């Protein structure tokens, strides 16, 4: 059973005093001028003065370049080690995402130590927050399922300190507090994704979120969880969730997590795809790569954890989060190609391909989310299509919408977080490919532009006048290659930061 023993609040301190930790992390940039062969290096230690001359000579000897992802460790003076993390091209100010990644790479590289101070160039609360966030996000380990190899794993830092002479400013303190929450709840998303489907079922997903909500203060934080069981879903007509889950001995659920602050300025619904394992059902996926389908609940984890984070940040925006949860399996009770199901609210769908299951559970949840609610917007988050990965690769997610004003606003929010999102169209001419000869629509259509076709399917279940965003995070949700910046191998936690930022940016808009 999923447990949250591992979820500890990431604690980050801010200090303008002397560095007392084991390790000091600073930036290293290059200011190479055209024509010259050697790279001129620049130590970027923010508000901390170092003996740069001696250090630079050693760094040159070592062949340091200051490129992003480069980590160089030297013996320190007051600290055991001084760690240089690449910032790329030297500049009077650095992009917040450059700082976030540099801090994250360093945090990963010094795992196994107990404490570190990060002193990187940052002149305002946002930049300081980005460093804290990067350090906290990079400081992650998933070792719950290790036995004999557990002791070989380098444990994350127990204490992170950010050095800045702005330490006493209230907006800086707020930025550090936000970074702690972002890191902690991104770790929760990653833990849920990395937990194998033998342990993370629809039921245990609900248990884990219930526990996390309790830990966050529950009702006193304005949070409330409710869970619909499979028999309740069946009797109330949630045909999508039932159809996808009926081939599994782990029954489906619909989790609802609401955050209702006093004096809420707006209300959003966040809906996340929660397939705890996607075998493809009777359209069984090939064995190669199927193990990555434990990540098919990344959207559900992101919307739930983001809602808790929004509550802890006391954002005056109400959130109704929905996580339709099911395991897409093969058995004699599994949904057959050609079966017709009825989505919550009555629209019928011919299931041509049981591997296009995400849209079926999302349709139920989208309809439910709009029921009698005065929403200002609705956002769904899903590892929905392989076509998304083909179109945008593994690090850029897609945004589709029925309201460009809403998506443009969202894209502004995402830029602040460093999460890469790119707008994609919903071309109306592709909709006809979803017509079915027997039902209201079919669950698959034209293969070309499969990400857009999936978006058009969902659009059928959203009121035209309600601003809606569909986020396809199929590629970025799960890192199957090497760790980079603050991103580990496995679950990444993508979308959480943008969902939180959207709420924050909606307070005054
Ligand atoms: N969960 C998958 C999509 C996916 C693929 C996520 C790769 C992450 C990485 C989804 O349920 C799926 O199987 N989609 C099918 C749809 C097709 C049958 C129309 C796909 O993309 O192949
Ligand atoms: Mn599938
Ligand atoms: Zn899926």
SS3 letters for 42-88? EEECCCCCCCHHHHHHHHHHCCCCCCCCCEEEEECCCCCEEEEEEEE
**CA distances to 345, 447, 454, 500 from 348, in Å:** 9, 21, 16, 34
The tokens describing 330, both together, are 């093969």
Predicted TM-score (pTM) above 0.85: yes
User: Looking at the predicted structure, is the pLDDT value of residue 2 above 60?
Assistant: no
Report whether 419 contacts 498 (CB < 8 A): yes
The tokens describing 502, both together, are 């959207």
The DSSP H or E segment spanning 131 is: helix 125-138
Phi, psi of 71 (to 5 degrees): -125, 125
Report how far residue 427's alpha carbon sits from residue 455's, in angstroms, rounded to the nearest whole number: 10
Does any ligand 1 atom lie closer than 6 A to the CB of residue 166?
Answer: no
Active site residue 359: yes
Residue 405, class by beta-carbon neighbours within 10 Å (0-12 exposed, 13-18 middle, 19+ buried)? exposed
Does any ligand 1 atom lie closer than 6 A to the CB of residue 453?
Answer: no
User: Looking at the predicted structure, is the pLDDT value of residue 268 above 80?
Assistant: yes
Tens digits of residue pLDDT in 77-113? 889 999 999 999 999 999 999 999 999 999 999 999 9
- Positive or negative CA dihedral for 58, 64, 65, 67? negative
Name the average pLDDT for the chain.
97
Does any ligand 1 atom lie closer than 6 A to the CB of residue 318?
Answer: no
pLDDT of amino acid 373: 74
- 253-259 and 223-228 beta bridge pairing: antiparallel
Q: In 10 A of CB 35, how many CB atoms? A: 5
Residue 421: closest CA among 372, 470, 348, 359: 470
The tokens describing 494, both together, are 């993508």
Does any ligand 1 atom lie closer than 6 A to the CB of residue 389?
Answer: yes
pLDDT of amino acid 36: 66
pLDDT of amino acid 35: 66
User: Looking at the predicted structure, is the pLDDT value of residue 221 above 70?
Assistant: yes
What integer is the mean pLDDT of 184-190?
A: 98
Radius of gyration of the chain (CA): 24
User: Looking at the predicted structure, is the pLDDT value of residue 379 above 60?
Assistant: yes
Residue 262: closest CA among 311, 303, 322, 307: 311
Report how far residue 385's alpha carbon sits from residue 115's, in angstroms, rounded to the nearest whole number: 41
Tens digits of residue pLDDT in 3-58? 555 578 889 999 999 999 999 999 999 997 766 666 799 999 999 999 999 999 99
For ligand 3, the distance from its centroid to the CA atom of residue 375, given in whole angstroms, is 27
Report how far residue 118's alpha carbon sits from residue 137's, in angstroms, rounded to the nearest whole number: 14
Residue 201: closest CA among 239, 227, 232, 238: 227
Tens digits of residue pLDDT in 275-319? 999 999 999 999 999 999 999 999 999 999 999 999 999 999 999
Burial 108-118, CB ≥16 within 10 A → b, else e: bbbeebebbbb
pLDDT of amino acid 271: 99
Alpha helices by DSSP H, 196-352: 202-215, 230-236, 239-245, 298-312
What's the pLDDT band for 372 if we cut at 50, 70, 90?
Answer: confident
For ligand 3, the distance from its centroid to the CA atom of residue 202, given in whole angstroms, is 14
What integer is the mean pLDDT of 435-447?
A: 98
Report how far residue 322's alpha carbon sits from residue 49's, in angstroms, rounded to the nearest whole number: 50
Q: In 10 A of CB 265, how many CB atoms? A: 15
What integer is the mean pLDDT of 456-468?
A: 98
The residue whose CB lies within 8 Å of the most ligand 1 atoms, and thus the one to mutate among 291, 326, 355, is 355
What integer is the mean pLDDT of 370-384?
A: 96
pLDDT of amino acid 306: 99
* Position in ligand 1 atom list of the atom nearest CA 385: 21
The tokens describing 300, both together, are 């559900």
Which of 73, 285, 409, 415 is catalytic? The answer is 285
Does any ligand 1 atom lie closer than 6 A to the CB of residue 360?
Answer: no
pLDDT of amino acid 8: 80
pLDDT of amino acid 32: 74
Active site residue 373: no
């Amino acid at each position: 059973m999923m447990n949250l023993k591992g979820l500890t609040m990431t604690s980050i301190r801010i200090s303008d005093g002397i560095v007392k930790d084991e390790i000091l992390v600073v930036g290293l940039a290059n200011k190479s001028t055209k024509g010259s062969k050697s790279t001129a290096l620049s130590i970027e230690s923010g508000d901390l003065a170092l003996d740069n001359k001696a250090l630079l000579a050693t760094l040159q000897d070592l062949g340091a370049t200051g490129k992003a992802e480069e980590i160089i460790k030297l013996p320190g003076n007051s600290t055991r080690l001084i760690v240089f993390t690449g910032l790329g091209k030297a500049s009077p100010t650095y992009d917040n995402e450059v700082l976030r990644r540099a801090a994250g790479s360093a945090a990963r590289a010094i795992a196994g130590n107990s404490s570190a101070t990060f002193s990187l160039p940052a002149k305002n609360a946002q930049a300081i927050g980005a460093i804290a966030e990067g350090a906290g996000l990079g400081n992650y380990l998933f070792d719950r399922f290790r036995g004999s190899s557990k002791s070989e794993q380098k444990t994350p830092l127990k204490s992170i300190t950010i050095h800045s002479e702005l330490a006493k400013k209230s907006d800086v303190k707020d930025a550090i507090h936000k970074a702690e929450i972002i890191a902690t709840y991104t770790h929760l998303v990653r833990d849920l994704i990395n937990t194998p489907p033998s342990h993370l079922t629809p039921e245990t997903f609900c248990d884990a979120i219930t526990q996390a909500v309790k830990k966050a203060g529950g009702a006193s934080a304005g949070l409330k969880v409710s869970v619909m069981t499979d028999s309740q879903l069946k009797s109330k007509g949630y045909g999508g969730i039932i159809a996808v889950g009926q081939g599994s001995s782990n029954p489906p659920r619909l989790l609802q997590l609401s955050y209702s602050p006093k004096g809420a300025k707006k209300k959003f619904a966040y809906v996340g795809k929660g397939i705890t394992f996607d075998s493809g059902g009777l359209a069984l996926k090939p064995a190669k790569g199927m193990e990555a389908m434990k990540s098919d609940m990344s959207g559900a984890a992101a919307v739930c954890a983001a809602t808790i984070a929004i509550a802890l940040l006391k954002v005056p925006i109400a959130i109704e989060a929905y996580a339709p949860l099911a395991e897409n399996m093969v058995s004699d009770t599994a949904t057959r190609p050609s079966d017709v199901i009825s989505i919550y609210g009555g629209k019928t769908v011919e299931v041509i391909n049981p591997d296009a299951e995400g849209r079926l559970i999302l349709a139920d949840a989208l309809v439910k989310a709009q029921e009698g609610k005065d929403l200002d917007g609705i956002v769904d988050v899903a590892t929905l299509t392989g076509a998304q990965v083909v179109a945008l690769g593994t690090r850029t997610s897609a945004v589709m919408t029925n309201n460009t004003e809403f998506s443009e606003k969202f894209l502004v929010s995402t830029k602040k977080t460093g999460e890469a999102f790119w707008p994609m169209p919903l071309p109306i001419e592709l909709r006809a490919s979803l017509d079915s000869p027997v039902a209201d629509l079919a669950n698959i259509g034209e293969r070309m532009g499969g990400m857009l076709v999936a978006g058009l399917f969902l659009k059928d279940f959203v009121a035209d006048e309600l601003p809606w965003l569909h986020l396809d995070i199929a590629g970025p949700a799960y890192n199957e290659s090497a760790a980079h910046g603050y991103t580990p191998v496995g679950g990444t936690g993508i979308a959480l930061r943008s969902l939180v930022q959207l709420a924050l940016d909606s307070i005054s808009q």
